[in-house]
Amino acid sequence: APRPACPQCGKSFTSGSSLRRHLRSAHGGAPGLSFSCWRCRAPFPCGAALREHLGTPGCQRRPHRCRSCPKRFASARSLRKHRRTHLDGAPRCPDCGKTLTSEASLVTHRRIHTGERPFACPECGMGFMAAKSLGKHRRARHSGGFICSECGRSLSSHAALVAHQRIHTGERPYECPDCGKAFAAAFRDGAALRRHWRVHTGEKPFGCSECGKSFRASSSLVIHRRTHTGERPYPCSGCPKSFVSRSSLMKHLRTHLRREPP
């Protein structure tokens, strides 16, 4: 199968990480290569080169395939952990039927359906479903580590800062291999690209325990559940109305702007 090749000198490598190390040591990082493959992380100078690479059988970041389902994994350890979800007696979510690797994982997963966020940030009060998510939030927002020069936001790592700055630059170096739509973050890191991929697969893994309606994203389920609970956490500052989501509030606020006298 074709292997990732250096666009500068033509030398081929067994993996995208080996190619990146070569680019840094032999070519000073090759700063013109701004497009990266979301599967193997190999860098490319343009979107056309990336699309051509995605069509090759040698581009496969997840070589370990589950025999019981279509999922693939980057390591044998991840595959073994996943395989436990197919065993008899594996914890199963009563709301959507998903199997989990442990009872603790099931408890965390069920919060997607209940909307429970028991881990609150002591700095800003924002709630999270898992302690790991809270830790990630605190490192990103309150650690004072890597600061964006455009908006002042604090990020937990240089890689996170680079990804965040694409909001300001508009750069979208990761493309969906099915339709070519571009995203700022890779599959491994980007929830937006993972949600988009479900448009092609038809997967809707987040089911409402009240009515059975399913969604591609957990955030969509959280908003939908408010139609059952009556919760409207986004009040309008200009009138008594409140809304189930921030996007609904922003849409409503535009009606006030249109009514303002010249």
* Distance in angstroms (rounded) separating the CA atoms of residues 34 and 36: 7
pLDDT grade for 63, boundaries at 50, 70 and 90: low
pLDDT in tens, 83-112: 877 777 778 888 777 788 788 888 988 888
Indicate if the pLDDT at residue 67 is higher than 60. yes
Contact 215, 221 (CB under 8 A): yes
Q: Residue 1 corresponds to which amino acid?
A: A
**What's the pLDDT score for residue 86?**
78
The span from the CA of 53 to the CA of 71, in Å, is: 22
Q: Is the pLDDT of residue 131 over 80?
A: yes
Tell me what percent of the residues of the chain surpass a pLDDT of 70.
68
Alpha-carbon gap, residue 96 to 49, rounded angstroms: 40
Cα 130 to the chain's mean position, in Å?
Answer: 16
Q: Same topology for domains 64-201 and 206-259, yes or no? A: yes
Q: According to CATH, what is the number of the domain 206-259?
A: 3.30.160.60
Q: Which fold has domain 64-201?
A: Double Stranded RNA Binding Domain (3.30.160)
Other CB atoms within 10 A of residue 163 CB:
17
Block residue for tokens 């020069």: 149
Domain boundary assignment for the chain: 1-61, 64-201, 206-259
Q: How far apart are CA 38 and CA 57, in angstroms?
A: 14
Q: What pLDDT does 187 receive?
A: 45
> What is the rounded CA–CA span in Å between residue 54 and residue 57?
8
Render pLDDT for 190-238 as a digit per residue (tens, 0 to 9): 566 667 777 777 788 888 888 888 888 888 888 898 889 888 888 888 8
pTM (2 d.p.) = 0.40
C-beta atoms surrounding 44 within 10 Å: 21
